[in-house]
Amino acid sequence: MERTLSIIKPDGVSKGVAGEVIGRMERAGIRICAMKMVRLTLEQARLFYAVHKERPFFESLTQFMTSGPIIAMVLEAENVIVKNRDLMGATNPKEALPGTIRRDFASDVEKNIVHGSDGPETAAQEIKFFFSDLEIQH
Ligand code: IDP
Ligand code: MG
């Protein structure tokens, strides 16, 4: 069994599509084994997205991620990193396939509704960023 970190970003929460996003994950056979709603500080957002700190969109992205509450989740399933990325669709919703979360709900490349870890190492790091072992159901 593999685990990944998923985040419903501030736009997903404020648009009221959290339930729909979670429903899609559950219908895909993904188990949610941890969940919390938090509002990141700018410092936390900068730390979470540190790999992107040289990118031109870093300032705007981190501001956006602190603009409202987010829902962080640990997802579990076989091959869940790729499975979740497939449900999400491409980073830019205009390039995302029909039926994906980003294509169906996102307005632009920055405000794209969801985050999902991109590999086993980042998944482990990102899960630790939000959750202690005690907060994850086995
Ligand atoms: P991902 O979320 O699909 O893994 P990344 O390349 O890791 O995409 O970028 C992280 C986040 O940064 C994206 O989800 C999006 O919110 C934002 N982002 C990525 N590329 C751009 C861009 O070209 N302009 C503005 N924001 C971007
Ligand atoms: Mg990424």
d(CA 46, CA 52): 9
Q: Annotated catalytic sites, by residue?
A: 115
The alpha carbon of residue 81 and the mean position of all alpha carbons in its chain are separated, in whole angstroms, by: 11
CB of residue 85 inside a 6 A radius of ligand 1: no
Beta bridge partners of 116: 6
pLDDT tens-digit profile of 66-93? Answer: 999 999 999 999 999 999 999 999 999 9
Instruction: Report which DSSP code applies to 66.
Output: T
Q: Find the DSSP H helices in the chain.
A: 10-14, 18-27, 42-48, 58-65, 80-88, 101-105, 120-130
Over residues 28-48, the mean pLDDT reads 98
Instruction: Say if strands 114-116 and 2-8 run parallel, antiparallel, or are unpaired.
Output: antiparallel
Average pLDDT of the residues in 6-14: 98
Q: Whole-prediction pTM value?
A: 0.98
Q: Whose CA is nearest to atom 14 of ligand 1?
A: 91
Ligand 1 near 86 CB (within 6 A): no
What is Dmax (Cα atoms) for the chain? 39
pLDDT per position as a tens digit, 105-132: 998 999 999 999 999 999 999 999 999 9
User: For residue 137, what pLDDT is reported?
Assistant: 97
Mean pLDDT of 50-74: 98
> Considering every ligand atom, which ligand is closest to the CA of 92?
1
The per-residue pLDDT of the chain, averaged, comes to 98
Cα 56 to the center of its chain, rounded Å: 21
pLDDT for res 47: 98
